[in-house]
Amino acid sequence: MRFLTHLIACVVLFVALAAVTEVRADEPVAEPSDLLLVFGTITNSQGNPVKEAEFEFFVDGRKLEVEEETTTSADGVYEAEIALPRGTLPGGRVEVKVRRPSYAATDMITLDNVVREEVDGSGNHVYVAHFSTTLARALTPAFWIAAAVLLGVYVFIAFDLLHRTLAALVGASLILFISYTLGAFDPSYRIISFEDAMGAIDQNVIFLLMAMMIIVGVTRRTGVFQWLAYKSFQIARGNIFMLTTLLMVVTAVVSALLDNVTTMLLLIPVTIEICVALKLNPVVMLVPEVFASNVGGTATLIGDPPNIMIGSYAGLSFLDFVQHLALVCLIGLAASTVYYLLWFRSSYMAARVDDVPAMIERLRQEYRIKDPRLLIKCGIVLAITIFLFVVHGALGMEPSVAAMAGAALLLVISKVYIVDMVEKEVEWPTLIFFMMLFIVVGGAEETGIIQIIAEWVREMSGGSLEIAIIMILWVSAIFSAIIDNIPFTATMLPVVAYLTGTIPGAENGVLWWALALGACLGGNGTIIGASANVVTVGMAEKAGYPISFVEYFRMAFVPMLITVAIANVWLLLVMR
């Protein structure tokens, strides 16, 4: 019995060994091969990296099948490992072809710098070749679709055919929808991927705006803004010229520290009440105020949305804006104040002040500080936040982090219900507008529209820094008056970035200041030029004092040109 058991075990072992031997005999014997390593960088005509470019390799005209597709990374760099039959190199002709949606595919390019490096332990020969090239833009269907969407969004916003948030949402949705429908069948229709669309949204801008909205919302409850207007009237004591000057200064300062839209929302009601008591048409004070709000907001990083976008994109700090723009904005404020005092002098002189002490007392009762303890808390937190804005560059901290820290601290110590703040004070339509607009502009950048604009500006300037400054400043001013300055600024950001890196002398960032001054000051030119203008006109009309487009243009366009001209001299003489 034991013998039979051993016999069966031996038979099983023999069969197993035979099976293993047969399997090994069937396995292909690895033949020596050549390994080609190709690396390099793919850029566009502006010298910027091209990501997700795809490669095809050929040997003697025959396309090679590779296990993993080679694509460039976000910085345009790639590295390909290609296994070739032994003996292919150095005699074989290796060629490469590069393609990328929205770019013209390259012709077959021969790798003529293949170098033999070593022989590995298996006897395989290793070769290395460097290949870098520049891809030219192609006017694909994606280009024309992205251009049409960008233009359409501008038209709908400029002529108020759709709410600007809805216009941007439709544009962003259309770009992504086409990319994943038509673009799925034909790469020439692919505008932007979802991942790239999300990457195009500047989160720093979004969170900075949201946090500042919360800080302003809590501070609003103290009544301090209306109190400042009352104090201005008290100091002026019925002198309309002095009152206008004080209100313009207060509006400019508050707009620089908070934002111009919120400032106007808070000051308009008390301004209208003062004007009614003075038998004065409120328009003659509201227009100078909103003009001052846009000028004052230009001076800081957080004062006007275009500055927030520029600072985030270019990595400019709060202190950078103050150092480079505060003084020229102060000069512009002085010039615009003198202009409006002369322009409305007949109206101011006709104003009747029957009982100044009684008016002061009524304003004191109606516009007093509602919560002094909360005001102290808000003042402390705002001071801390502004301090963080000043030092955030040295700390390597994004401005949004400073604002979020201030908002969170204020909500904790004020014990204000956060749900009320989020629901009532955070302007979600504005934040959604920014996010969708970033996607639309991202599609324009992916398809080459921004690149074409940048190259056109560079050619028109002839590489001259002075001409580039003048072009960016005045084009930004005029277009920001015609359309909302926020979408225009979003479009110009990559353009100015390219010009800053290619025009000699622009390394000091002067072109960024030209864009900031042009977009913010130019927004004063028409009703639709800046969000603060739209808010002011809407609230005035609701109170029974309508302002037409032509009337506003007549009152604001000339002083806008004056402030931009001052900025022009400043940029050419001082900033250089």
Q: Is the pTM of this model over 0.85?
A: no
Dist CA 131 CA 30 (whole Å): 30
Q: How many CB atoms lie within 10 A of CB 503?
A: 21
Structure-token pair, residue 348: 């101011």
DSSP state of 528: G
Average pLDDT, the chain: 83
Largest CA distance in the chain: 131
Report domain extents, the chain: 33-135, 141-200, 223-368+448-573
**Which pLDDT score is estimated for 565?**
96
CA gyration radius, the chain: 32
Whole-number Cα distances in Å, 284 to 3, 130, 275, 555: 119, 68, 9, 9
Omega of the bond leading into 187 within 30 degrees of 0 (cis): no
Phi, then psi, of 58 in degrees rounded to 5: -135, 145
Which residues have C-beta within 8 Å of that of residue 451, sequence separation ≥ 6?
A: 44, 45, 46, 137, 445, 498
Positions of the chain with pLDDT lower than 70, given as ranges: 1-32, 67, 117-123, 352-355, 575-576
CATH class of 33-135: mainly beta
**Which pLDDT score is estimated for 5?**
52
> Residues 307, 298: contact at Cβ < 8 Å?
yes
What DSSP element (H or E) covers 109?
Answer: strand 109-110
**Which pLDDT score is estimated for 23?**
42
pLDDT tens for each residue of 495-506: 898 888 888 888
